[in-house]
Structure 1
Amino acid sequence: MKISQVTVRRRLFLVLVGVMIAFGALVVRLGYVQLWIGGKLSERAEDSWRRQIEFAAKRGDIVDRNGVKLAYDISAPTLYAVPVQVKDKKGTAATLAPLLGMTEEKLYAQLSKSAKDVRLQPGGRRMTSELAQKIRALNLPGIYVAEDSKRFYPYESLAANILGFTGYDQGLNGVELKYNDRLTGINGNVSSLVDAAGRKMPNSSEKYSPPRDGLTLKLTIDQPIQSIVERELDHAMLQYQPNSAIAIAMDPNTGEILAMASRPTFEPADYQQAAPEVYNRNLPVWMTYEPGSTFKIITLSAALEEKKVDLKNEFFYDPGYTEVAGARLRCWKRGGHGSQSFLEVVENSCNPGFVALGQRLGKDKLFEYIKNFGFGKKTGIDLAGEASGILFKPKQVGPVELATTSFGQGVSVTPIQQITAVAAAINGGKLFKPHVAKQWIQPETGMVLEETQPELVRQVISPETSKQVREALESVVAQGTGGNAFLDGYRVGGKTGTAQKVVNGRYSASEHIVSFIGFAPADDPKLIVYVAVDNPQGVQFGGVVSAPIVRNIMADALPHLGVEPRKEQIGKELKPGETPTVTVPNVVGKTVTDLFEDMNMNFQLSASGKGTTVLRQAPAAGARVKKGSVIRIYLGDKE
């Protein structure tokens, strides 16, 4: 079949158009690749050729409320190798082995790996700056020193259960874990171009991306108060040899934790030397136990709020026990307290009297207040491992359970619940959420990025009721069982607690958790302190063991907080044989020969140091202590 010229020309034209369209599309595509995405493709190509060695960002500092550093990073360079760039692997291994304290065989094996880069460890991990400088000076091909750091805790075990600790690049406990994301910075790196074999390209430049440091965390903790608390716990451990001891100091008006500690403890930088149950359990938030008589503050607050008692004008007779549903519940004092006002019931920590208050309230109302004060659930403090405590379920509460709960037996609480609840009872009735994080700060500029405000959970009792509670608890210290917490010049309120431990499902007759919770000034609380000691050897009463610890903490902490002593306070009632208190004079700057006049036979001296002049003293001048107490002085030269 003959094809016409017209058909031939049409087909040629269509082919030409097709070629032109294809060529145009190719031109457009080339233009798109060259002009539009060429830069991105070049970056991708360069990225495929580029090898990076990371520089760890500095982890954010952790500081106390006044900016004192409690945890921070110090320089600790790390040694890396790019195996394909190490030309003489055996020679390099032989050179580095004695410096790193590693065998040549182990180093050679690491240098022979097929990985793009290798951390030479353990000897090359977190080296000293001096060692890093020596290795840099060797200028070994394929060996790189990367800036790295390690965590440093300048006060060793101070605040260990709050700070926690870190692994190589991750917080593992405490606020180091809780706030790991904010404390961890963004790593930087140095990168260079390499060929397909991994060799550095000649005449290529290195690219440096600086690391971005983590944020600074300012805690509510006050380092001097934390030191005071830990000092007193150390003394208690030596004196009483208990299983454990805890202490918490709080600002009752905000929920800020000023100090928190427990014994036994550990050093965060060397935590693995301690037993796992020591570094994994933050006892002030994890430990649960029956609180004993410190829980009576809750029963008292509820009874006053519901107007079920008139403390001064109502009386109660205590024969030493009370009968409830066939069960005999005893008072701690054999023979009882006899006839007493309900204020004296509080002063004397009389169990039968508090049973009467619980019965007046009834189970529904009493447990309503217990829950409103925060018991039975976590406080929400920003620390890991918090327990909830245990309360009776409503259907489990009969007459006996109501009675025992009224004086702190049969319920299980945590230390943080206890101090948070009592803070609400004495601060005007406000239950605050406790916290340890105060501010987040940008490290380069010092700008405050975020600040934790006091978080009011609820109003539990009225300010008027809270005032009555404070007055009653001040009377406990001045006239009752809390006498060992009395601090001349400061209006201290508080309550003792002595609770039998449950051992193998039964109450032990020989093991107790003894506690004391105290606050000052009683008319305007600035500080509340809770101390609990588990199974002290010898004497086992909260008023004997724990109350003096709280007193000693307050004696040093209140002046530090700027709380001045005052003359107006309820006078302490001295019991038969009790030693009176005297004021400590100021002997700093005095010579040894002058001291005996100042002591005036009221004190004993314990001197340390060499010299003839007193440089420091403890307790501080103006403190009130028992006559005959030991005054510690440090001697040196005047200049």
Structure 2
Amino acid sequence: MKISQVTVRRRLFFALLFVVIAFAALIIRLGYVQLWKGAELSERAENSWRREVLFQPKRGEVIDRNGVRLAYNISSPTIWAVPAQIKNKAETARRLAPVLGMSESVLFKQLSKRERIVDIKPAGRKISLNKTQQVRELGLPGIYIGEDNKRYYPFGSLAAHILGFTGGYNQGLTGLELRYDQRLSGLAGSVSYLAQANGDVMPDSSDQYTPPRDGLTLQLTLDQTVQSIVERELDQAVLKFQPKSVIAIAMNPKNGEILAMGSRPTYEPDKYREVSSEVYNRNLPIWMTYEPGSTFKIITLAAALQEGKVNLTKEHFYDPGYTEVGGARLRCWKKGGHGSQSFLEVVENSCNPGFVALGQRLGKEKLFSYINAFGFGQKTGIDLNGEENGIMFKPSQVGPVELATTAFGQGVSVTPIQQITAVSAAINGGKLFKPHVAKSWIQPETGTVLEEVKPELVRQVISPETSKQVREALESVVAQGTGRNAFVDGYRVGGKTGTAQKVVGGRYSANEHIVSFIGFAPADDPQLIVYVAVDNPQGIQFGGVVAAPIVRNIMADALPYLGVKPRTKQVEKEYRYGDTPIVTVPNLVGKTVSDLYEDLNMNFRLASSGSGDTVVRQAPAAGSKVERGSVIRIYLGSDN
């Protein structure tokens, strides 16, 4: 069949039209890609070529209330590898392995990974400056040194449970390091470059540097000196009594600021792997729960005074050594009882039957309403992880016996932080404050305070007038009652002992106790409150014998250091048969070490700190009255 010229021309026309349309579509597509999508595709291409070496920011320092550094960073670089840039991996591994102190075969496997960037671990992470210089001198292609740092705790185990520690990537794992990890961590920086498919740097390309943003500085309410005093006494308690555990908290009762907090057993944050996780995960002052014993009587006393249920000096109570409640016989700690006594003497003598009577006068609704108002049975909200609630009776569970035992601190469970927070409210004018350890956040480069943590008032629990009565009664406890071993001459110490049987196998143990003492000073204007609890000390198990002297030693050193001036008036201490003789502290300031022992005779023991040959400060101060055999702490310096 013959095809006409018209048909041929028509076919050629449509073929040409198709080609024109195809080229037009291609030109449009190229224009769209180049002009409209060009920037986006270029960015995507560049991202696929870009490699990054990260630079970790400096983790924010943790400092005490006076600026003493408790946790900071020291330079500790990390080794990175870009496998695609390493032509001879075996030779690189052979030369690098001895410097890092790792197996050559293990290093070779890491260098052979099909990854863009590999961090050499564990031996290449946070290496010393000496090793860093050795790696740098090797000049190995594809091996990079990334600026890094590791956490350093200059005082070892000091405040370990508060500070916590960080992991291999500077991430917070426990304590404040975990609690405030985001603010302390900062933001990472980097150096990025463009690489070819084989890993080589693209010719004529430039690196891009994004500086890291360092973490904020965290200032604490802790005082490093007070913390050291507290931890010294904790160590002494462990040596002397071999307890299962011991805790101590020192706080400003006027605002809830924690000045010191510690416990034993403890650990060093740099060596946390050497101890059981139970040691570093349990911050006992906020985690441990137990029956408080007689220190809880302060709450019953405050409630009874606030409700007008007792007159301490005008009313009397007869104690035969026990009281009968709901068919149960509740005994006093003193066999045979205290006989006839005023209610002030009930407090001084820590008489259980007397406090049962106060609980009965209040009734369960009133007593438990005050217990709740003082913060028991609920978390205080302290800015530390791991706080427990404690355990209180439910209203439906409270019968006559439960009301009676609660009144003298048995059958309920509290935490140390609840106890010191509640007693602070009882003696500071009636104000319950939320305890806290963070004081402020500081911009590290400028030193500017970005945020200040202000005291948080939870509620007014009792009146200032009632609080004054509580302080005066507790001062009598220390001067004339069961707390005499906490007496510090000139400082008007108030406080209360506690001796609580432990529950073992569902029964109260006759041999295991938690003994405690809570003390504050000065009694007319409390500026320091200290709580110590010792779990199952070996030997005599009474709070007044074991815990009260520990609180006394802490206060004797901490009060002068904090600038608290001695008082001219105080309730005189009543000395009883068997009490250690009292002697006057001599003035040692200005004397040389070689001259000291002429003044000491056999009355005192010495503990020194500092360097030099001249005494520049002492505690207790000259003229103070202390027990014979007490320790005088001297601070040495130069006489220039």
TM superposition score normalised by structure 2: 0.93
The more displaced of 166-175 and 399-408 is 166-175
Alignment deviations for residues 441-492 of structure 1 (CA, whole Å, 9 cap, x no partner)? 1111111111111111111111111111111111111111111111101011
2:85·2:198 contact (CA, 8 Å) conserved in 1?
Answer: no
Distance 1:157 1:479 in 2: 38
Tell me the SS of whatever aligns to 2:271. helix
The more displaced of 342-351 and 99-108 is 99-108
- Give the counterpart letter for 1:589 in structure 2: G
The more displaced of 536-545 and 189-198 is 189-198
1:216 maps to 217
1:595-606 correspondence runs (5 A) = 595=596, 598-599=599-600, 602-604=603-605
- Give the counterpart letter for 2:432 in structure 1: L
1:250 maps to 251
Q: Once the 2 structures are TM-superposed, how far is the Cα of residue 208 of structure 1 from its aligned partner? A: 1.4
2:267 maps to 266
Distance 2:422 2:611 in 1: 48
1:429 maps to 430
Distance 1:610 1:24 in 2: 88
Alignment pair present for 1:57 and 2:43: no
1:248·1:531 contact (CA, 8 Å) conserved in 2?
Answer: yes
1:527 maps to 528
Tell me the SS of whatever aligns to 1:582. strand
The more displaced of 194-203 and 308-317 is 194-203
2:71 maps to 71
Distance 1:227 1:394 in 2: 43
1:584·1:621 contact (CA, 8 Å) conserved in 2?
Answer: yes
2:155 maps to 155
Distance 2:446 2:129 in 1: 27
1:99-118 correspondence runs (5 A) = 99-118=99-118
Alignment deviations for residues 197-240 of structure 1 (CA, whole Å, 9 cap, x no partner)? 22222332222111111111111111111111000000000001
Distance 2:582 2:432 in 1: 36
Aligned pair in 2 of structure 1 residues 159, 203: CA closer, same or farther (>3 Å)? same
Q: Once the 2 structures are TM-superposed, how far is the Cα of residue 377 of structure 1 from its aligned partner? A: 1.0
Q: What RMSD in Å do the two structures reach over aligned CA positions?
A: 2.7
Alignment pair present for 1:382 and 2:377: no
- Give the counterpart letter for 1:549 in structure 2: I
Distance 1:592 1:128 in 2: 41
Distance 1:225 1:480 in 2: 27
Distance 2:424 2:609 in 1: 40
Distance 1:615 1:530 in 2: 30
Aligned pair in 2 of structure 1 residues 301, 164: CA closer, same or farther (>3 Å)? same
2:80·2:118 contact (CA, 8 Å) conserved in 1?
Answer: yes
Q: Once the 2 structures are TM-superposed, how far is the Cα of residue 271 of structure 1 from its aligned partner? A: 0.6
1:482 maps to 483
1:102·1:123 contact (CA, 8 Å) conserved in 2?
Answer: yes
- Give the counterpart letter for 2:122 in structure 1: P
1:555·1:623 contact (CA, 8 Å) conserved in 2?
Answer: no
Tell me the SS of whatever aligns to 1:218. strand
- Give the counterpart letter for 2:562 in structure 1: L
1:4 maps to none
The more displaced of 578-587 and 513-522 is 578-587
2:6 maps to none
Distance 2:393 2:271 in 1: 41
Q: Once the 2 structures are TM-superposed, how far is the Cα of residue 593 of structure 1 from its aligned partner? A: 6.2
1:254-403 correspondence runs (5 A) = 254-403=255-404
Aligned pair in 2 of structure 1 residues 37, 494: CA closer, same or farther (>3 Å)? farther
Aligned pair in 2 of structure 1 residues 177, 611: CA closer, same or farther (>3 Å)? closer
Aligned pair in 2 of structure 1 residues 494, 610: CA closer, same or farther (>3 Å)? closer
Alignment deviations for residues 1-21 of structure 1 (CA, whole Å, 9 cap, x no partner)? xxxxxxx9xxx9xx99xx899
1:607·1:633 contact (CA, 8 Å) conserved in 2?
Answer: yes
2:3 maps to none
- Give the counterpart letter for 1:155 in structure 2: F
1:172-191 correspondence runs (5 A) = 172-191=173-192
1:119 maps to 119
Alignment deviations for residues 356-412 of structure 1 (CA, whole Å, 9 cap, x no partner)? 000000011111111111111111111111111111111111111100000000000
1:153·1:269 contact (CA, 8 Å) conserved in 2?
Answer: yes
1:5 maps to none
Distance 2:210 2:584 in 1: 62
TM superposition score normalised by structure 1: 0.93
Q: Once the 2 structures are TM-superposed, how far is the Cα of residue 626 of structure 1 from its aligned partner? A: 1.4
Alignment pair present for 1:138 and 2:138: yes
2:557·2:619 contact (CA, 8 Å) conserved in 1?
Answer: no
Q: Once the 2 structures are TM-superposed, how far is the Cα of residue 611 of structure 1 from its aligned partner? A: 9.1
Distance 2:615 2:558 in 1: 23
- Give the counterpart letter for 1:372 in structure 2: A
Alignment pair present for 1:83 and 2:83: yes
Q: Once the 2 structures are TM-superposed, how far is the Cα of residue 275 of structure 1 from its aligned partner? A: 1.4
Distance 1:482 1:157 in 2: 31
Distance 1:129 1:601 in 2: 52
Q: Once the 2 structures are TM-superposed, how far is the Cα of residue 36 of structure 1 from its aligned partner? A: 6.6
Distance 1:604 1:437 in 2: 37
The more displaced of 600-609 and 135-144 is 600-609
Percent sequence identity over aligned pairs: 73
Q: Once the 2 structures are TM-superposed, how far is the Cα of residue 62 of structure 1 from its aligned partner? A: 0.8
Q: Once the 2 structures are TM-superposed, how far is the Cα of residue 181 of structure 1 from its aligned partner? A: 1.0
Q: Once the 2 structures are TM-superposed, how far is the Cα of residue 182 of structure 1 from its aligned partner? A: 0.9
Alignment deviations for residues 269-288 of structure 1 (CA, whole Å, 9 cap, x no partner)? 11111111111101001000
Q: Once the 2 structures are TM-superposed, how far is the Cα of residue 627 of structure 1 from its aligned partner? A: 3.0
- Give the counterpart letter for 1:325 in structure 2: G
Tell me the SS of whatever aligns to 2:353. helix
Tell me the SS of whatever aligns to 1:213. coil
- Give the counterpart letter for 2:402 in structure 1: E
Q: Once the 2 structures are TM-superposed, how far is the Cα of residue 337 of structure 1 from its aligned partner? A: 0.6
2:591·2:614 contact (CA, 8 Å) conserved in 1?
Answer: yes
Aligned pair in 2 of structure 1 residues 637, 430: CA closer, same or farther (>3 Å)? closer
Alignment pair present for 1:96 and 2:100: no
Structure 1 residue runs of 5 or longer lacking an equivalent are 1-7
Question: Alignment length, in residue pairs?
Answer: 629
1:501 maps to 502
Alignment deviations for residues 253-278 of structure 1 (CA, whole Å, 9 cap, x no partner)? 11111111000000011111111111
1:194 maps to 195
Q: Once the 2 structures are TM-superposed, how far is the Cα of residue 191 of structure 1 from its aligned partner? A: 1.4
Tell me the SS of whatever aligns to 2:173. strand
Tell me the SS of whatever aligns to 1:172. coil
Alignment deviations for residues 536-568 of structure 1 (CA, whole Å, 9 cap, x no partner)? 000100001101111111111111211111221
Distance 1:409 1:72 in 2: 44
The more displaced of 346-355 and 433-442 is 433-442
- Give the counterpart letter for 1:94 in structure 2: R
2:553 maps to 552
Distance 2:505 2:578 in 1: 40
Distance 1:114 1:608 in 2: 58
Structure 2 residue runs of 5 or longer lacking an equivalent are 1-8
Tell me the SS of whatever aligns to 1:171. coil
The more displaced of 235-244 and 551-560 is 551-560
2:302·2:467 contact (CA, 8 Å) conserved in 1?
Answer: yes
Distance 2:53 2:612 in 1: 56
Aligned pair in 2 of structure 1 residues 309, 276: CA closer, same or farther (>3 Å)? same
Tell me the SS of whatever aligns to 1:317. strand
Tell me the SS of whatever aligns to 1:166. coil
Q: Once the 2 structures are TM-superposed, how far is the Cα of residue 37 of structure 1 from its aligned partner? A: 6.0
- Give the counterpart letter for 2:144 in structure 1: Y
2:493 maps to 492
The more displaced of 313-322 and 613-622 is 613-622
Aligned pair in 2 of structure 1 residues 206, 624: CA closer, same or farther (>3 Å)? farther
Distance 2:607 2:516 in 1: 29
Distance 1:217 1:590 in 2: 40
Distance 2:323 2:304 in 1: 19
Distance 2:629 2:176 in 1: 43
2:4 maps to none
